Amino acid sequence: MIRLAASADVHFGTESAGTLRPQLTDLPERADVYVLCGDLTRSGDANEASILAEELAGIEIPIVAVLGNHDYHSGQEDVVRKVMEESGVTVLEGEATTITTAGGRVGIAGTKGFGGGFAGACATEFGEGEMKSFIGHTKMLSAKLEDAINSLNGDARVVLTHYAPVKGTLVGEKLEIYPFLGSYLLGEAVDRAGADLVLHGHAHAGTEKGVTPGGIHVRNVALPVIKHVYNVYCFGGDALDSC
């Protein structure tokens, strides 16, 4: 059995030191891998990333993350990524990694993703250049994600995004902001490539459980949704279980 601990939207600020590490003391006993689905920082400041990196340093299981919109706010996303990677965290953007655990090999692909909405109520690449750029960015990231998933080789295939790939995990959010919370293009990429589980954050007022049109499990692991410092998901047998 492969055990994956997951959370998102920790929003670390300059005053957050010491708030996360005490809650992770039993993490190596409960999980084989820890994943963070974006919004690692409050405003994308390198100092915020350094504080989070210190909290995560020395945890005795692999940590994999994607960035979120907050991590891009200050234009320091490359520095945020570098700080996290220097602390031992693997950060993915259209990339993949494979981790060997006692329960088997888990392949993880990830991207921040972007918005655009969902089938029947989505934006398109038509009209102003700004709209074309908006949807074009989502299409580009979705294509890179699909390529990354296709490269995975493991007993379980997991996808990390920040923005939602389905609208099912947005239930509870205002309908008017769905286009800014995710895109069906991410879900289509996952369905074409195939995966066992998709994890995302961003939708603080959303719902934990959803499914892609192709039947792939989706979980919103934003902290306000799961109401724990992390949830643990287990892969074994024929089904995905929370554990």
Confidence of residue 242 (pLDDT cuts 50, 70, 90): low
Alpha carbons 1 and 140: distance in angstroms, whole number: 34
Query: Could you report the per-residue pLDDT of 59-115, keeping only the tens digit for each?
Result: 999 999 999 999 999 999 999 999 999 999 999 999 999 999 999 999 999 999 999
Q: Is the pLDDT of residue 133 over 60?
A: yes
Q: Which residues, in sequence order, are CB contacts of 182 under 8 Å at separation 6+? A: 113, 115, 116, 117, 118, 161, 163, 164, 165, 166, 167, 170, 200, 202, 203
Predicted pLDDT of residue 120? 87
Query: Could you report the per-residue pLDDT of 181-211, keeping only the tens digit for each?
Result: 999 999 999 999 999 999 999 999 999 999 9
Q: What is the CATH number of the domain that holds 24?
A: 3.60.21.10
Beta strand ranges found along the chain (DSSP E): 2-7, 33-37, 63-66, 90-91, 95-101, 104-111, 117-118, 121-122, 156-161, 197-200, 209-211, 217-220, 231-236, 239-242
Which domain does 163 fall in, by range?
2-242
* Count of domains forming the chain: 1
